[in-house]
Amino acid sequence: MTSPRLYWPRNLQEDGIYALDAGRRHYLSNVLRLRPGDAVTLFDGSGWDFHAVIERMGDREAAVRITGRKEIAGAAPSVRITLAQALPKGAKMDGIVEKATEIGAVRIVPFHSARSVPRLDAAKAAARLERWEKIAVEAARRCRRPDVPAIERIASFGRMLALAEGAGVKPAPARPGGGNRRRNHEEASARPTAAGEFFPAPLMEKGQRQQCRDLAASPSSPPPVRIIFWEEGGRDIKSLLRPAAGPPPEDYFVVVGPEGGFAPEEVAAARASGFTVAGLGHRILRVETASLVILTIIQYERGIFAAPDQPEGAGAVGTPRKERDRD
C-alpha cells in the first residue's frame, strides 16, 4: 500500500524530526485516521521522496521522523516549459494551474492582457496567488511529481515579455500555506500599482526558492523558444518543436491569451520581442483547453509521456509494457 504523500516547504534532512502544522496534523489524524508508527512520505521539491513515520500524534501537536529517502525517477525534467497565461474569467485559472502542474510546466506566469476581463487589486491578487500555489502543491502531491512549479506574481503584458527574455524578477516559487497573509497584504498596500503590474508573492524558505529557480531557469541555458498563440494563425507548432538541424530545444516559453484572444498590438509587441506566432489549426479552443493542448503537444513531442520503463526522450507514447513483453 502506498503511504500518504505530503509537501514540505523547506529542505528535509535524513533522520530529522519535523513538527506538523495544524493543517497537516488535521489531514493525517482526522481525515486519514493515521496514528503513531504509521508511514507517510514527504517531498520538498529536491527530487527525493523522504520516507517517514509518525513519531507522535496529539490534539495540539504532531511530528514525523524521517527514516530514509528515495530518488524520484525523472526528477530532473528533460524539457522546461513556462506557461504564460492571460487571466481568464471566473475560476478557470484554478483548473489551468492544476492541469499545468500535472502535465509538467515548471513555471506559470499569470498576466493581464488588453482583453482580460479580471482586474484585481493588490489584496485580491495576493489571495489568488496563494490559492494557486495551494492548488499546485495538491496537484503535485496527487500525481507524484517531484517538484512544485513556480508561480509568478500577476504581471502586465510588458512585464511578461521581459520575463521571457530572462530579465526582471526571477521566478517567485510557491510557499503554499506559508508566509503571513496580513504581512503579504501590507506589503501589497505599501506598493500601490495599476492593474496588471506585479504584486508581492508569499514568502518562502531560501533553499526552496533556489530549488525552484534551478528548475525554472538556468543561467547557462540558451534562451527559451518563445511562442505566442494567436487565433488569427501563424506557424505550425510541430515545425517549432522539430528543428531541421541540431538538437531539439529544452526550454519553452508559451503565451496563451484570454477569452477574446490577443489584440493585434500585443501580437506585434511579442514579435518585436522575439516571439514566434503560432496557431492550433482552424478550430477555436476555449482558453482552458488551449493551454493544456499546447503543454501536452510539447510533452508528447519531447517524450515525457513515454512508457514507465523507457527513458525520457526515447520517443512518444510507447507500446504498453504487457504487449511489449509478449512481443
pLDDT tens for 82-92 read 999 999 998 89
- φ/ψ of 129, rounded to 5, equals -60, -45
Nearest Cα to 43, choosing from 15, 87, 10, 67? Answer: 10
Q: C-alpha grid cell for residue 260?
A: 477574446
pLDDT per residue as tens digits for the range 222-267:
567 899 998 877 777 777 777 776 677 788 999 998 988 899 999 9
Give the whole-angstrom CA distance, residue 232 versus residue 264: 9
The pTM (predicted TM-score) of the whole model is: 0.72
Residue 302 — pLDDT band, cuts 50, 70, 90? confident
All domains of the chain, ordered by start, with CATH?
5-71 (2.40.240.20), 80-301 (3.40.1280.10)
Give the whole-angstrom CA distance, residue 270 versus residue 161: 7
Residue 315 — pLDDT band, cuts 50, 70, 90? very low
Distance of CA 189 to the CA centre of its chain: 27
Alpha-helical runs (H) found in 155-235 = 157-164, 181-190, 206-216
Which of 88-92, 197-201, 317-321 is predicted most confidently? 88-92
